[in-house]
Amino acid sequence: MSASGKMPQGSGRMRGGVREPHMSREDMKKSLGKGSTVWRLFRFIFKNYKFRFGVVLVCIVISALATLASSLFTKTLIDDYITPLLSQAVPDFSPLVVALVKLAAVLLVGVAASYSYHLIMIFVGQGTMLKLRQSLFSHMEDLPLSYFDSHSHGDIMSVYTNDVDTLRQVIGNTVPNLFQSLITLISTFVSMVVLSMPLTLVSILMAALTVRVTTALGKISRAYFVERQKALGAVNGFIEEMVSGQRVVKVYCHEKKAVEDFSVLNERLRSSAYNANKIGSMVMPINGNIGNLGYVLTAVVGALIAIGGLTAWYMSGIGGATLTLGTLVAFLSLQKNFTRPISSISNEINSIAMASAGTDRVYSLLDEPQEVDEGKVTLVNTTVAPDGSLVESPVRTGTWAWKAKAGLASPDRSHPRLVRGRGPLAEQVGGAERSEESGLARPDADDSGAASRLRAYSAAAKRGWTRPCPEGRPAILTPLRGLVSLEDVDFSYVEGKQVLFDISLTAYPGQKIAFVGGTGAGKTTITNLINRFYEIQEGTITYDGFDIRRIDKDSLRRSLGIVLQETRLFSASVLDNIRYGRLDATDEECREAARLVYADSFIRRLPQGYDTILAADGGNLSQGERQLLAIARAAVANPPVLILDEATSSIDTRTEKLIQKGMDSLMKGRTTFVIAHRLSTVQNANYIMVMDRGRIIERGRHDELLAQKGKYYELYTGNQITA
């Protein structure tokens, strides 16, 4: 009979109940797609806003054509109205007025279309940010703990705020401007070719120069913006650490050093932001001057052609018309329209580069591999049917069983399990005799809680519990008993740095297994592996005979209650913080859990009692009070297996004795793993595992280990044994 344990410094984070986003996770992942980050973002936007995008495109076309019409009207205005009017003795302005009214109507439609598509794109931009944040949060909840071990929390938060926010400007303004620029370029180019080929060639030459400058400066600027976003994430991460660790900073008079370190990070942010904006700000004036130069060259070439009266075919447009004064003025207006989109794009280069860098960081998080879960065995509530067989219950009964499809997942036959037709067993396993009634290892005589649970199942087990699945395939219900076994387990957090060696132990239902040893011995790592916060490299871990890799992770963790040394509370009422252990728990069940662990008295002394709103992470409570709430949270979960990682480390000795009574009641009939430095709290454990450098070096009961006068004796008495 045995057991052993450890977990990484700083225990695992709990996954909270969060509202499901409006889109399912699967739909979001499909929407986000693959490929370059910018292209993936556009596909994501288009997939979710197809109709609105269609309306936007129509409005952009209308707006661009309205602008083009106003430019082309200049030729008609000069050649067909103003020039004839100059030669009339009594000018008739009525045709001109009618033409101007028509032009005004066209321009009014263009303004309405422009306003409409900008308004729609603002909605699309905010909606995209909403869906991206939802997708980020859903994805983050499925990431393994190893990701959070290696990434600053503040840097992750920066992705949600700064990086996602960079997309707002580019979606609301830049994207529609790009579409409008493209349509304007095409329509304007066609009109210019029709009016004059020579002048069109001049415009193309200057436009090519503009594109060249914009591309070169854009590449430089984007590199600086990528550096800026990373520096911004580093600053946010540092600030988050300093805020959460402010007490430590003040206790050790670390303020000056903290300011110096922040200054280095802040200067790096300033430098990268300065360089990025400096390069981006150079683009617009450079391109503006190139556009002005092109305008002058076009006017000079056009004037020479018009004044010289050149009428050769290569000096005219596709229509063969000569270059009149009206045509030249109209072309100059079109030339502005031709260079304006390029200048507009260059003007947006800052937001484009910043959004591109932000998009890279957003998709970098979204592309992180999720926690692998291929488990098919699930945890279900059960009840005993009239015929005495065990059946799945649609409501919570407090009696649990593992549900596995026949032939798909079944317990390892090397471990004891309840199955119809299994005969009595008399073999010895780890020193514990098996029960002839159930085929399960019989706990020691003092494990009355476990024994009663086994007897409760035996009648139903003998009748069998095979029931059809909803899909019609047969399923086997295996009663949850709390039999946890580790066999030859090796583990490393980082490749090449092994922290657990050859860990083998078996915890039978109702037993209390304690892990003791020095800091870093491997105690907490073992409990992390049982939860599957991390995956083992070698060996196997089984739970009621099932390899835990075949158990659905949510089901596995629902069957395990854990109180971590690092207490984590949330900005909510005391009642809601206790209910975090089981979201469907009633108020009375939460209060009963608090009474069980002796937290009720201090809660009632709070300003609003159980309705008191806690500050961030319970900052308005003492460390001991916070730990009591964490224990109450585990109590309301009412799990069959408990993991207590220094659960009373922050509680005074007197209160600990009171809580121990509640803990003993809570542990009764449950398999319990206890990690403790105060050895007085584990003297009544069924087995004590002594850990040292990732190995179990001693195991046994308290008296047996003292008699051995080994490592446990040293830890308990403080006396070092000399050879």
Q: Where are the domains of the chain?
A: 33-366, 378-479, 509-717
Q: In what order do the strands lie in the sheet with 474-479?
A: 390-392, 378-384, 400-405, 474-479, 466-468
Tokens 């803990």 sit on residue: 663
The span from the first CA to the last CA of the chain, in angstroms, equals 29
Q: How far apart are CA 573 and CA 614, in angstroms?
A: 6
Distance between CA atoms of 383 and 404, rounded to whole angstroms?
17
Residue 572: how many CA atoms within 13 Å on its side-chain side?
Answer: 11
User: Which CATH number is associated with domain 33-366?
Assistant: 1.20.1560.10
pLDDT at 530 over 50: yes
Q: Which residues pair with 506 in a beta bridge?
A: 2, 485
The residue among 541, 488, 482, 536 whose CA lies nearest residue 507 is: 482
Residue-level pLDDT at 472: 47
> What CA–CA distance (Å, rounded) separates 621 from 567?
12
Q: Is 698 helix (H, G, I), strand (E, B) or coil?
A: strand
| Residue bearing the bigger pLDDT, 319 or 105 | 105
Alpha-carbon distance of 503 to 247, in angstroms, equals 38
Dihedral pair phi/psi, residue 613, rounded to 5°: -85, 125
Query: Which is more confidently placed, 4 or 616?
Result: 616
- Cα four-point dihedral sign 519, 521, 527, 531: positive
Quick: pLDDT tens for 223-234: 787 788 788 888
Q: Which fold has domain 509-717?
A: Rossmann fold (3.40.50)
The Cα 594–Cα 636 span in angstroms is: 8
DSSP letter at 165? H
**335 touches 107 (CB < 8 A):** no
Q: Is 463 exposed, middle or buried (0-12, 13-18, 19+ CB in 10 A)?
A: middle
Q: 14 CB contacts (<8 Å, ≥6 apart)?
A: 568, 580
Average pLDDT for residues 262-285, to the nearest whole number?
A: 83
**pLDDT at residue 310 above 70?**
no
Smallest CA-to-CA distance from 343 within 256, 396, 283 is with 283
Q: Comparing C-alpha atoms, which of 304, 222, 18, 49 is closest to residue 133?
A: 18
Question: 411 near 422, Cβ under 8 Å?
Answer: no
Residues 6+ apart with CB under 8 A from 181: 341, 342, 344, 345
Taking the CB of residue 260, how many other CB atoms lie within 10 A of it? 9
Q: Is the pLDDT of residue 484 over 90?
A: yes
Residue 97 burial class via C-beta count within 10 angstroms: exposed 0-12, middle 13-18, buried 19 and up: exposed
CA dihedral 362, 367, 373, 374 (to 10 degrees): 150
Residues in CB range of 31: below 8 A, 6 or more apart: 23, 43, 44, 47, 48, 131
Alpha-carbon distance 258 to 256, whole Å?
5
With pLDDT > 90 as the criterion, what percentage of the chain qualifies? Answer: 10
The stretch 701-721 carries a mean pLDDT of: 84
CA 684 to chain centroid: 42
H or E stretch including 692?
strand 687-692
| β-pair type (400-405, 378-384) | antiparallel
CB contact at 8 A, 487 and 511: no
Point out the least confidently predicted range of 56-70, 71-85, 130-144, 585-599. Answer: 71-85
* Distance separating alpha carbons of residues 420 and 462, to the nearest angstrom: 6
Query: What's the pLDDT at 186?
Result: 80
> What is the C-alpha separation between 406 and 86, in angstroms, rounded?
98
CA dist list (Å): 429 to 1, 415, 426, 685: 7, 10, 10, 19
Structure tokens at 344: 């507009």
Neighbours of 599 (CB within 10 A): 27
Q: Which helix (H) or strand (E) holds 516?
A: strand 512-517
- pLDDT tens-digit map of 52-109: 888 988 998 888 888 777 777 777 777 777 777 777 777 777 877 888 888 888 889 9
Quick check: 662 pLDDT over 90? no
How does pLDDT run across 238-273, given as a tens digit for each residue?
Answer: 887 787 777 667 766 778 888 888 888 889 888 888
Q: Which residue has the higher pLDDT, 24 or 660?
A: 660
The pLDDT mean for the chain works out to 75
Q: Are 641 and 484 in contact (CB under 8 A)?
A: yes
Q: What is the pLDDT of residue 491?
A: 93
Residue 318 has what pLDDT?
56
**Regarding beta strands 687-692 and 512-517, do their DSSP bridges make them parallel or antiparallel, or are they unpaired?**
parallel
Instruction: Sheet containing 538-543: give its strands across.
Output: 497-507, 484-494, 538-543, 546-547
**317 token code pair:** 């447009």
433 forms beta bridges with 428
Rounded to whole angstroms, the Cα distance separating 500 from 505 reads 13
- Cβ neighbors of 507 (< 8 A, separation 6 or more) are 3, 482, 483, 484, 485, 513, 671, 673, 687
Of 143-152, 239-248, 257-266, 290-299, where does the model show the most confidence? 257-266
What SS3 class is residue 89? coil
Q: Is the dihedral of CA 662, 663, 664, 666 positive or negative?
A: positive
Asked if pLDDT for residue 313 goes beyond 70, the answer is: no
Burial 335-371, CB ≥16 within 10 A → b, else e? bbbbbbbbbbbbbbbbbbbbbbbbbbbbbebbeeeeb
- Residue 700: helix, strand or coil by DSSP? strand
pLDDT of residue 337: 72
**pLDDT 10s digits, 535-572:** 888 999 999 989 999 999 888 988 888 887 777 888 88
What gap in Å lies between CA 51 and CA 57, rounded to an integer?
10
Q: Which residue has 């069959």 as its token pair?
A: 640
What is the predicted pLDDT for the residue at 277?
A: 78
Q: What's residue 448's pLDDT?
A: 42
Length of the chain: 723
Largest CA distance in the chain: 129
Contact 712, 690 (CB under 8 A): yes
Q: Do 556 and 548 contact (CB within 8 A), yes or no?
A: yes
For residue range 487-505, what is the model confidence (pLDDT) as tens digits?
A: 999 999 888 889 999 999 9
Which comes out higher in pLDDT, residue 626 or 352?
Answer: 626
Distance CA 470, CA 60 (A): 53
Q: Which amino acid is at 547?
A: D
pTM above 0.95, yes or no: no
Q: H-helix or E-strand containing 474? A: strand 474-479
Query: What tokens does 127 get?
Result: 């909606």
pLDDT of residue 323: 66
Number of neighbours of residue 613 by Cβ within 10 angstroms: 14
Name which of 44, 24, 29 is nearest 127 in CA terms: 44
